[in-house]
Amino acid sequence: MIRETIALIARDLKRWYRTPAQIILVFTTPLMWLLLFGQAFNIGRLAQIGDTMTDLRLVFGGATDYFSFMAIGQTAFIMLFASFFSGVSILWDRKFGFLSKLQVAPIPRAVIPLSRIASSLVKSMLQAAVVIVLAASFVLVPGLSGLRFSPSFGFADALGLALFLVLLGISLSALFVALGLIVRNEETLFGLINLLNFPLMFTSSALIPIALMPDWLRTIALYNPITFVVDGMRQLVFDTSVGAEYTVAVDLLGIGIFSALMIGLGALLARRALLRG
């Protein structure tokens, strides 16, 4: 089981890193968002136009500026987008018969979704790392604000950060891979992905501070799994609970429960999709 899983992960990654366009996208997509959205959309400056000196950390989840706030949200954003590609790729594998080749092979059925989730996780974690490195390096560019870590940010915090992202990546790719297996038509799959992606992203505190949301949206955002992830990560990165919605432990529990649900749902759907008709 391990050998075929590794072989399939390797196949998937080779397809990815050997396509120059994919590698260019890994860098340009986060660059666009960080530059055009993160730098231009400077809510912090707006907030300071008035006389009242609000503590911006209350608005920006512990960060003192919008860019630092959104850069962390951007890592979750990139996990979401990297994960949905895994669902699309498995639909292509069905179209081109690769999936039926796997179904004829003497391998446990579970290897098919598991290997795809694993390869998706490798890709999305790499992209999240690219986001963080790019955002931090903005400090070096005159005229740009960069992602400012708390001076006390250490190895344990980095591991915590990775854990949040891994849990998010697993739950999202489990969902999307299962959808990619069960939906047989690209248009439907893309429609479904859009239907999930945009609400998931924009009802969370990834890019927009919860404090600025209307009440109804705030209620939704507080239960959005992405909110748990970014809320926890910000507390680790900025080393403060000021402006946080939950404690780190509750954040971890929240995304943990979401992961368990998505893995369960994914397994159920994938099992159905891979059954012989």
Partner 1 sequence: MANLSDEGATKDESMSSEDVVVVVDQLEKIYSGDVRAVDSISFNVERGEIFGFLGPNGAGKTTTISILTTQTLPTGGRAEVLGYDVVKEPGKVRRGIGLVPQELTVDDELTGRENMELQGSLYGVPYSDAKERIDELLDLVRLADSAARKVKTYSGGMKKRLELAEGLIHRPEVLFLDEPTLGLDIQTRTSMWEHINKLKKETNMTIFLTTHYLEEADALCDRIAIIDHGNVIALDTPGELKKAVGGDVIEIEVTDCDEDILEIINGVPGIALIDGTCAENKARIKVPDSGAALPKILTNFITRDIQVASVMVKKPSLDQAFLEFTGRELRDEESTAGNSKKEAGARKGRFRRRR
Binding site for partner 1 (CB under 8 A): 3-4, 6-8, 10-11, 14-15, 18-19, 96-98, 100-107, 276-277
Is 141 in contact with 67 (CB distance < 8 Å)? Answer: no
By beta-carbon proximity to partner 1, the closer residue of 98 and 202 is 98
Ramachandran region, residue 62 (left: φ > 0; alpha: ψ -120 to 50; beta: rest) = left
The DSSP annotation for the chain comes to -HHHHHHHHHHHHHHHHT-HHHHHHHHHHHHHIIIIIIIT--HHHHHHHSSS---HHHHTTT-SSHHHHHHHHHHHHHHHHHHHHHHHHHHHHHHTTHHHHHHHSSS-TTHHHHHHHHHHHHHHHHHHHHHHHHHHHGGGSTT-------TT--HHHHHHHHHHHHHHHHHHHHHHHHHHHH---HHHHHHHHHHHHHHHHHTSTTTS-GGGS-HHHHHHHHT-HHHHHHHHHHHHHHT--TT-SS-HHHHHHHHHHHHHHHHHHHHHHHHHHHS--
Shorter beta-carbon distance to partner 1: residue 123 or 148: 123
As given in the structure block, the two tokens for residue 53 are 């000196």
What's the min distance (Å) between Cβ of 24 and partner 1?
16
Residue 91 Cβ vs partner 1, minimum distance, rounded to whole Å? 15
CB of 275 to partner 1, least distance (A): 9
* CB of 4 vs partner 1, minimal distance in Å: 5
For the bound state, the minimum distance from the C-beta of residue 212 to partner 1, rounded and expressed in Å, comes to: 44
Q: Which is nearer to partner 1, 223 or 272 (CB)?
A: 272
Q: How far is the CB of 71 from partner 1 (least distance, A)?
A: 32
Q: Tokens representing 17?
A: 């890193």
Nearer Cβ to partner 1 (102/128): 102
Minimal distance in Å, beta carbon 103 to partner 1? 6
Q: Is the Cβ of residue 13 or residue 250 nearer to partner 1 in the bound state?
A: 13
Beta carbon nearer to partner 1, 106 or 142: 106
40 or 104, CB closer to partner 1? 104
| Cβ-based nearer residue to partner 1, 2 or 40 | 2
**Shortest separation between residue 228's beta carbon and partner 1, angstroms:** 36
Length of the chain equals 277
Q: What angle do CA 257, 30, 24 make, to 5 degrees?
A: 120
